[in-house]
Amino acid sequence: MRDVQLPLASMSIAKDQQISDDDDDEPNKRTRRWPKQVLPLLASLGFVRNNSSAAPRTSTLSSSKTATTTKEDVGRATWLLLHTLAAQLPEDGLSKQQRRDVNTLVDVLTRIYPCGDCARHFGELVRNDPPEVSSGYEFSQWLCRAHNAVNERLDKPQFSCDRIAQRWGKLDCAGAGCSLDDRNERANER
């Protein structure tokens, strides 16, 4: 069977697009430059290589090969999900159901996380320092400490937990239904 080349992302980046210091996440159409905070995402997706030249990453699919995902890819995606979820939780206090849900999510990750070694290590972290779920703020702080423990194990730099809100904030979406509070209030009205 013949191999087929498929792009791994729907966006395309011209080779002449560069990284800029702009504050938004869109390329500047006039200068064709990408903001610097988008660089890590573009690099992790394989779009940016060698002095910011960029080309879409492709994958070869054939009947004899299966797709693979690296531990690093899963780790980055999981931390993004967890930190983003934590940022959406009410800062001043969680409902009993929210506390239960957060604890369940963390517990499930210790058992079904795709990397067995990672799941065991995360389970040890949770047993030694159970999640703090009294508020979104407390959970964010606990999550940062857990993330830093994983970073230390992987010889990666520590992240300042004072800067959580600058790194992982509220979702940027318009209208009602964006926050967990809005969704929970509507669910309680039914």
What's the structural domain count of the chain?
2
- Can you tell me which residue has the tokens 């809005």? 182
Residue 117 lies in a domain: yes
What does the longest C-alpha to C-alpha distance in the chain come to?
Answer: 58
Cβ atoms of 22 and 33 within 8 Å: the answer is: yes
Residues 79 and 132 in one domain: yes
Residues 163 and 103 in one domain: yes
Q: What is the pTM assigned to this prediction?
A: 0.61
Residues 154 and 103 in one domain: yes
The pLDDT > 90 percentage for the chain reads 48
Residues 158 and 133 in one domain: yes
Residue 183 lies in a domain: no
Residue 186 lies in a domain: no
**How does pLDDT run across 15-52, given as a tens digit for each residue?**
444 444 444 444 544 444 555 555 565 555 555 454 44
Domain membership of residue 36 as a residue range:
15-57
Residue 64 lies in a domain: no
First to last CA, the chain: 54
Residues 81 and 40 in one domain: no
Beta-strand runs (E) in 69-158: none
**How does pLDDT run across 46-77, given as a tens digit for each residue?**
554 544 444 444 444 555 678 889 999 999 99
Residues 149 and 91 in one domain: yes
State the Cα–Cα distance between residues 37 and 39, nearest whole angstrom.
5
State the Cα–Cα distance between residues 152 and 132, nearest whole angstrom.
21
Q: pLDDT confidence of 157, banded at 50, 70, 90? A: very high
Q: What is the CATH number of the domain that holds 90?
A: 1.20.120.310
State the Cα–Cα distance between residues 173 and 169, nearest whole angstrom.
12
State the Cα–Cα distance between residues 69 and 65, nearest whole angstrom.
13
Residues 48 and 128 in one domain: no
pLDDT of residue 170: 83
